[in-house]
Amino acid sequence: MSVHPLRIDMGSKDLLSKMEVLGSGNVLKCYQCGTCVGDCPATLSDLHVRKLMKYSIYGLEDRLLSDTGVWGCTTCHACSERCPEGASPFELVMAVRRYQSQMGKLPEALRAIAGNIMEYGHAVDLGEKHKKARKAVGLPEVPPTVLAHPDMMKDIQAIVRAREFAKFVDKGGGE
């Protein structure tokens, strides 16, 4: 029976630091026990957190950065919470998401939510029917948030525009 060991020399040497800049934390703490997988509500889909940790450790850059399973994460944080080594598989998932977004691959549904925040200051809008619903429960039609202070909307926009990544929030900035 022949054995095909994973060839570590195929890996990228700077992948770890690249992911750390994107917020992955120290993936080298991982000893591949798989506790993260057992806890993950997205395991039944195409997200496999232990495998992503392994790709990072071995520098398998293409496999890690092209993994679209990361978008199946619900951000439940169970993997990092219960990791016996104190590694942060969840943060690696988010780092891969950030990499893909900065390559123009932010999923449209998520881009639209960020776009709403740029437009209304909130993740969802306040339409006429929502104003009516507020009135029906005895509340003012507009809550005392940024919606009641249109002059403060420019602060939210300025904060987002201050960074070079704002272009990914505009229509057509994702995929």
Minimum distance, C-beta of residue 127 to other proteins, in the bound complex (Å):
9
Q: Please, which residue, 66 or 74, has the CB nearer to other proteins?
A: 74
The CA distance from 31 to 95, in Å, is 20
Q: Please, which residue, 5 or 144, has the CB nearer to other proteins?
A: 144
Residue list 36-75, contact with other proteins (CB under 8 A): 41-42, 44-45, 71-75
> Which residue in the block uniquely carries the two structure tokens 């070079």?
164
> Considering just the CA atoms, what is the radius of gyration of the chain in Å?
21
The CA distance from 39 to 76, in Å, is 10
What's the number of CA atoms in the CB half-sphere (13 Å) around residue 7? 3
Q: Where are the beta strands (DSSP E) in the chain?
A: none
Q: Please, which residue, 6 or 109, has the CB nearer to other proteins?
A: 109
The CA distance from 161 to 121, in Å, is 14
Q: Please, which residue, 16 or 117, has the CB nearer to other proteins?
A: 117
What residues make contact with other proteins under the rule CB under 8 A? 23, 41-42, 44-45, 71-78, 80-81, 94, 97-98, 101-102, 106-107, 109-110, 112-114, 117, 121-126, 130, 133-134, 136-139, 143-146, 148-149, 152, 154-156, 158-163, 165-166, 168-169
